[in-house]
Amino acid sequence: MRKILLVFLLVSIGRVSASGEFHIKQTVDYKFDSSGSSTVVMHVSLTNNNANYYASRYELDLVGENPQNISSWDSTGPLKIVTTPTAADTTHITAYFNDVVTGLGKNLDFTIQYQGKPAIHNGQVWEINLPKLSNPASVDEYSLNLIVPSSFGQPAYLSPPPMSSEKNVYIFTKSQLSHIGVVAAFGNFQTFSFRLKYKIDNPSQIALPSDTAYQRIFFDSITPPPISVIADADGNWLASFNPGEIVVSGQAHLLIDPLSSFTDSPPEKYLSSTTYWPADNPQIISIAKSLKTPKKIYDYVVTNVEYDYGSAASSTSVRQGALAVLSSKKGVCTEFTDLFIALSRAAGIPAREVNGYGYTTDLRLRTPLHSWPQYWDASRRVWVSVDPTWGSTTQGVDYFSKLDFNHLAFITHGLSDSLPVPNFQDIQVSYGSYHDYLTRPLITKWQPPLFILPFIPCTFRLQITNPNSQAVYSNPVTLPPYGSKVLTVQYTLTHPFDFSPKSVTLINMTYNIPTTLFLPWQIGFALFISLTLIAGSIYLQRHIRPHPLRR
């Protein structure tokens, strides 16, 4: 996301500095309309701290904006405004006062207004970046009011959290904006379109983008169709293909808050030590003991690891792992993630890695794959995504309290620190237009036993196939797109002479047992009775028939 920096700089007020001779109060209203256009209204109040000085003009620099239709006024009328471009992204503004206000404690109130940067409408989300106060010492009181229309929707995230809010107005103070600006997004979810290309030389499995607690995946096409699709223990969708090129396209709907209803592997499995996450290493354990919480671990990684832009641009960079980055203090997203996971696991906090796509306008951070960690929040019982890499590279934006809409997950590594392998040949991701995907009924097929015998358990199998381009969640069955599963139910005939209609039921699907399955038992029983009668008759005839007399 592009960052906008507005610098409110008081260059000169008469012959004195603002901090000593005047009390300066600024209230900035940053108001957006339903089309995303912004109007910035700066209410400025100067109060004389010294009876011997007065203010004749007010000067400021706007950095990172191209202000349009600038105007200014006070209680007596319009003020003269002079604007001068001083750099490619900087505009110097001077407002000349109509009247001179003298006297201790006297006020001079005026307003500067201009059209600022618009909100960016990306997919289903409105994104806003507001300025930080670059020179806090030049202003005694400062507040910034972010005002958005109701059509923007609910705030997906606001960083930092506003000091207060009322309806669609979010208020930030001087102390909040002295070090960081405001990054905000409004909307319920984001939509990305993706097109991925793979190439395999042997029959094997590839990991398709899959559902997580933060996203739903819908496929438009998979060419050629997969032989089968299964879900592994980490929730990845593993599709089997024959050798060749595979092209996968579809849409992802990203959520800002994780779904607590999304089931996943037990978190206890994500505490072990691995090659890249040596949670049992004494140095890792020592650091983890001093940190203990996910927030402190996040802050430690952000503070102690420097992003290596040179390595990010290289095609030959090698993954270091947590221990190596402790020594080098430099790395790319993988190193930030590995160190966070190793420290978290050493502190007894389940953690894992997500590989995916990080959508950013910072060209230096545009890499084919991005990596970020998740930790298990035991109180909420959800996996929480954080991004220490972007927390470092954005110099203060909070990617711990709430992640943005720009992280599209492809693969989850948890039980293994490197499998499945992200073997993408090409990745194309862009904001998409939302559309619904119809859901077709599941394909079901019963597989009964060959026959049923009394007192001997027999098994009925129900094969369920998902023909949809999206996963289905129907307790107790969860099926990935185009996935299949076989469920079993046992039946025992306990009343062998009861041939009334019978059925078995599995996940609300009933199979009426045909009488033909009882036919072998019926025929066998009939033969048994018949043979018994015949044998008995022969036996009786032999013993009842009179014996001939010997002569």
Report pLDDT digits (tens) over 517-541: 988 887 877 787 788 888 778 877 7
Does residue 79 surpass a pLDDT of 60? yes
The number of beta carbons lying within 10 Å of the beta carbon of residue 274 is: 20
Q: Decide: 282 and 463 in contact? Cβ < 8 Å.
A: no
Residue type, 1: M
Say what the pLDDT of residue 215 is.
94
3-state secondary structure 366-427: CCCCEEEEEEEECCCCEEEECCHHHHHHCCCCCCCCCCCCCEEEEEEECCCCCCCCCCEEEE
pLDDT tier for residue 333 given thresholds of 50, 70 and 90? very high
Report pLDDT digits (tens) over 139-160: 889 999 999 999 998 888 888 8
Rounded mean pLDDT, 499-512: 89
Does residue 282 surpass a pLDDT of 70? yes
Locate 240 and state its tokens.
């089997």
- CA distance linking residue 215 with residue 221, whole number of Å: 18
What single DSSP character describes residue 540? H
Q: Return phi, psi of residue 393, to 5°.
A: -75, -25
Does residue 550 surpass a pLDDT of 60? no
pLDDT tier for residue 1 given thresholds of 50, 70 and 90? very low
What single DSSP character describes residue 256? S
Q: Decide: 415 and 404 in contact? Cβ < 8 Å.
A: no
Does residue 546 surpass a pLDDT of 80? no
Does residue 460 surpass a pLDDT of 50? yes
Say what the pLDDT of residue 475 is.
66
The number of beta carbons lying within 10 Å of the beta carbon of residue 380 is: 10
- CA distance linking residue 487 with residue 478, whole number of Å: 12
Rounded mean pLDDT, 380-398: 89
Does residue 88 surpass a pLDDT of 80? no
Assign 3-state DSSP to the chain and report helix, strand, coil percentages, each to 5: 20, 40, 40
- Provide the mean pLDDT of the chain: 87
- Residue 511 has, within 13 A of its CA and on its CB side, a CA count of 23
CA distances from 532 to 525, 529, 535, 538 (A): 10, 5, 5, 10
Report pLDDT digits (tens) over 42-75: 999 999 888 877 888 888 877 667 889 999 999 9
Report pLDDT digits (tens) over 223-279: 999 999 999 999 999 999 999 999 999 999 998 778 777 877 789 999 999 999 999
Say what the pLDDT of residue 346 is.
97
CA dihedral 48, 50, 56, 60 (to 10 degrees): -70
Interacting residues of 280 by C-beta distance below 8 A, sequence separation 6+: 273, 346
Say what the pLDDT of residue 545 is.
62
Say what the pLDDT of residue 8 is.
32
pLDDT tier for residue 450 given thresholds of 50, 70 and 90? very high
Say what the pLDDT of residue 242 is.
96
Say what the pLDDT of residue 547 is.
54
Strand partners, 226: none
Rounded mean pLDDT, 12-29: 64
In this prediction the pTM is 0.75
Locate 149 and state its tokens.
């229309």
Radius of gyration (C-alpha) of the chain in whole angstroms: 36
In the chain, the percentage of residues whose pLDDT exceeds 70 is: 94
Does residue 439 surpass a pLDDT of 60? yes
Does residue 408 surpass a pLDDT of 70? yes
Which range, of 179-183, 286-290, 325-329, averages the lowest pLDDT? 179-183
Q: Which strands make up the sheet holding 120-122, listed edge to edge?
A: 120-122, 125-130, 182-186, 155-159
Which range, of 214-218, 292-296, 516-520, averages the lowest pLDDT? 516-520
- Residue 478 has, within 13 A of its CA and on its CB side, a CA count of 15
